[in-house]
Amino acid sequence: MYELGIVWEWLGFAMRWFHVITAIAWIGSSFYFVALDHGLRKAPGLPEGVYGEEWQVHGGGFYRMQKYLVAPPELPEHLTWFKWESYMTWLSGFCMLAIVYYGSADLFLIDRHVLDLENWQAILISIASLSVGWLIYDTLCKSPIGKNTWGLMAVLYMALVVMAWGYTQIFTGRAAFLHLGAFTATIMSANVFFIIIPNQKITVADMIAGRTPDPKFGIIAKQRSLHNNYLTLPVLFFMLSNHYPLAFGTKYNWIIAALVFLMGVTIRHWFNTVHARKGKPLWTWMATAVLFILIMWLSTVPKMLSGEEEQDVSIAPAFQKFAQNAHFDSAREVVQVRCSMCHTAEPVYDGLARAPKDVMFDTDGEIVAHAREIYLQAARSHAMPPGNVSEITPEERAILKGWYESASAGS
Ligand code: HEC
């Protein structure tokens, strides 16, 4: 029974590894093509239908990249497509969401001070929000607003801010940020799956059938591509933010999220301009710095979401078995002596402003809710306490191990 915790942990790690690799492949190729697009130049003697070309140097050779805007007069036998990078990033990301947030919904997804949800309700809201988000986005793009590039961007931005606020009213701060990232990334991946690739396929089919391809499909795909470009950096911020409680766990976390989307635009704009060889707009970095400082400042406004006034002493049903276990008293003592100087609402350990990763062991409810993590961090591995600063003994680790394993086994 208790081995399951270990298998689950490794499954999470394997999936994270896979997810990061596919994301690097996706974002890497996407950055590459955006830069290439900006770098294309007209040159004398380009073949018919070619919009521009760029010479590139890499890996001991020279590449001469040319872009046909609609399609070349004739298709070569083999075409290399770029789509699996995106699909696999989404699929592995969704698996991670399931392993971490659906698997431990009571720990990571639900904050009963924010909204008292059952696990299945929280999971349903999570899945529904991702799919409905795409439908709303796609409808907006196809509506008359979609004709106006910047007008559309402004409307989409407002929609994202509303989502940021909405998620913080439903989930833990950590899950809210992660969902905002997943929501945005779902739009990006769905853009590839439902719009960009199908449109390209229409063009290819037209050519094979000897029809003249309609340039409209390429133009639509390009617009979606532009959105993906500006959304990439915020998604990465949200995905990484779960290591930084100051970003997600403070009162104005949804405003922080709103500013993060703006940083995505200011930073990308610099690169887009430079790649188009249109100068170096330093103001974008100044704007980014101002936004970042504003975010830092917002994160210092005291947290109010988690009802710090009245401490929660209740124990969620799923964790009762850890509290009722015969070894709990001795395990609690170990945690209080060896962990609590750091993992508390107001850490006494030098240099810690907040409980690391927002993991706190102030009440029985908090201790049992983290039973599996305590087991993995301090009993099965020696990751905690860091550098064993609080000098936990092997016997005390054995107590934590015995507690978790016997409670999980139901004895
Ligand atoms: C000196 C301060 C300190 C002490 C003592 C300490 N921790 Fe931590 N703990 C940290 C820090 C810092 C992190 C964040 C590590 C990181 O960012 O990867 C952390 C993270 C954690 C996490 C979250 C891990 C994750 O990746 O989500 C758990 C669980 C945890 N500690 C459990 C414990 C337990 C159990 C003990 C006592 C046996 C303990 N800690 C003692 C500082 C401490």
Model confidence pLDDT, tens digit, residues 131-158: 999 999 999 999 999 888 889 999 999 9
Instruction: Take residue 61 and report the two structure tokens written for it.
Output: 């050779």
- Work out the pLDDT band at 108, boundaries 50, 70, 90: confident
Phi and psi at 321, nearest 5°, equal -60, -25
Residue 309's pLDDT is: 46
**What integer is the mean pLDDT of 320-327?**
91
- Residues 270-321 have pLDDT tens digits of 999 999 989 999 999 999 999 999 999 998 876 544 444 455 667 878 888 9
Query: Would you give the distance in Å from CA 267 to the centre of its chain?
Result: 18
Return the sign of the alpha-carbon dihedral for residues 40, 44, 47, 50: positive
pLDDT tens per residue, range 120-134: 999 999 999 999 999
State residue 251's pLDDT score.
83
403 closest CA partner among 318, 389, 395: 395
Q: Is the pLDDT of residue 77 over 50?
A: yes
The ligand 1 atom at the shortest distance from the C-alpha of residue 347 is 2
Buried b (16+ CB within 10 A) or exposed e, 254-277: bbbbbbbbbbbbbbbbbbbebbee
Centre a 10 Å sphere on the Cβ of residue 197 and count the other Cβ atoms it contains.
16
Nearest CA to ligand 1 atom 15: 356
Q: What confidence score (pLDDT) does residue 307 get?
A: 46
Ligand 1 atom 3 nearest Cα = 342
CA distance 109 to 49: 52
Q: Which atom of ligand 1 is nearest to the CA of 243?
A: 17
Asked if residue 356 has pLDDT above 90, the reply is no
Nearest CA to ligand 1 atom 12: 356
Going by CA atoms, what residue is nearest to atom 29 of ligand 1? 373
Residue 155: predicted pLDDT: 93
Burial class of 36 by CB neighbour count within 10 A (0 to 12, 13 to 18, 19+): middle
Per-residue pLDDT at 411 exceeds 60: no
**Which of 127, 160, 153, 155 lies closest to 234 in space, CA to CA?**
160
CA of 392, closest atom in ligand 1: 38
Instruction: Considering only the C-alpha atoms of the chain, give the largest distance between any 2 of them, rounded to a whole number of Å.
Output: 83
Mean pLDDT score, 4-32: 92
* C-alpha 358 – ligand 1 centre gap (Å): 10
Q: Whose CA is nearest to atom 10 of ligand 1?
A: 356
CA of residue 369 to ligand 1 center, whole Å: 15
Note whether 170 and 114 are within 8 A (CB).
yes
The rounded Å distance from CA 99 to ligand 1 centre is 21
Q: How confident is the model at residue 266 (pLDDT cuts 50, 70, 90)?
A: very high
Omega before residue 385 within 30° of 0, cis: yes
135 phi-psi bin (left φ>0, alpha ψ -120 to 50, beta other): alpha
| 178 CA distance to ligand 1 middle (Å) | 21
Q: What residue owns the CA closest to ligand 1's atom 13?
A: 356
Query: How far is ligand 1, taken at its centre, from the CA of residue 329, in Å?
Result: 20
Q: Which of 99, 340, 384, 397 to mutate to test the pocket of ligand 1 (most atoms within 8 A of CB)?
A: 384
Ligand 1: lining residues by beta carbon, under 6 Å: 243, 335, 338-339, 341-343, 349, 356-357, 359, 370, 373-374, 377-378, 384-386, 389-390, 392
Q: Report pLDDT for 302.
A: 66
How many angstroms does the Cα of residue 384 sit away from the middle of ligand 1? 5
Average pLDDT (65-79) is 87
Give, using CA atoms, the residue closest to atom 19 of ligand 1: 356
Confidence of residue 354 (pLDDT cuts 50, 70, 90): confident
From 175-184, 222-231, 308-317, the region with the lowest mean pLDDT? 308-317
Averaged pLDDT, 102-129: 88
pLDDT score at 290: 97
1 by Cβ neighbours in 10 Å (0-12 / 13-18 / 19+) ranks as: exposed
Residue 28 in this model has a pLDDT that exceeds 70: yes
Cα 307 to its chain centre, rounded Å, is 26
Ranking 12-16, 196-200, 308-312 by mean pLDDT, the lowest is 308-312
Nearest CA to ligand 1 atom 20: 356
CA of 386 to the centre of ligand 1 (A): 7
Q: pLDDT averaged over the chain? A: 90
Ligand 1 test: best mutation among 342, 358, 360, 395, most atoms within 8 Å of CB? Answer: 342
